[in-house]
Amino acid sequence: MRFTEMLAASERAHRSMLCIGLDPDPARFPADWRGDRGRIFDFCAAVVDATHDLVCAFKPQIAYFAAERAEDQLEALIDHIHARAPGVPVILDAKRGDIGATAEQYAREAFERYRADALTLSPFLGLDSIEPYLAYADKGLFLLCRTSNAGGSDLQAQTLGSGARLYEHIAATAEQAWNRNGQLGLVVGATFPAELARVRELAPTLPLLVPGIGAQGGDAAATVRAGWRGDASGTRAPIVVSSSRAVLYASAEADFAVGARRVAEATRAELAAAAAPSPHAGLA
């Protein structure tokens, strides 16, 4: 199954736009495990087991594993997700950006070593930096577009000679010229709902990965209003709304997985409520 098909099926099956970001920090683990890098798999797997029926995707952040020399635990975790929740795609958050043979190796790492279903990429080196990943035609590729951090404006909001802002150019290019195999999506932060709406206008068919709700302060309802078009749009391109720390660290006690499920349920419900048609729609 292609990534886009897998994502759409997971969204429908679980009635969810929620993606849980797996950013394990041993310093924030429950007391009995605190500081123990050997428990990274155990911590993340417990969250997966508690929430896999509530999400449309999981998104492990590779730096949290690599910094702790826990790449083997990342491999085991992705295997665990595929076994425990075979219909839920794994988006590896690595934001790779390089060219040629180096990009080929990054693609092998993501899709052959880790067996991820999708990968985040930086598009700022141009199409030839994306092409090695396009060779994996069943995989998804999310290009950085309008990121959730304030400093993203330093480059992404700059106006080009055409009059478009850089993030608008990325969105339009990803929707059209670069999307050869229907693999591309865009990363757009929940912290910029107006820009999110503009990206959706320029890229009506692409899935949008939207970080920034929860700990970063993005508003879930505003995110849905800006990016979700629903069945009536005729395109129904998903939004994948990612929350990490708010879910992972909902409880600092041994019941952390229970806390993670509680917050995931509440976030899924909030997103669904924002997507539901208003009972007053069309009434003056």
Catalytic residues: 95
* 59 close to 93: Cβ distance less than 8 angstroms: yes
Dihedral (Cα; 154, 156, 158, 160), 10-degree rounding:
150
Task: Please count the other Cβ atoms lying within 10 Å of the Cβ belonging to residue 172.
Answer: 17
CA 89 to chain centre: 10
For the chain, how many residues are written? 284
Question: Residue holding tokens 């509530």?
Answer: 54
Vertex 249, ends 192 and 45: CA angle to 5°?
105
Query: Quick one: CA dihedral 162, 166, 167, 172, positive or negative?
Result: positive
DSSP for 78-111 reads HHHHHHHSTTS-BEEEEEE---HHHHHHHHHIII
Largest CA distance in the chain: 60
Spatial separation of the C-alpha atoms in residues 263 and 251, rounded to whole Å: 10
Q: For residue 242, what are its two tokens?
A: 């990612």
Contact by Cβ (8 Å): 7, 56: yes
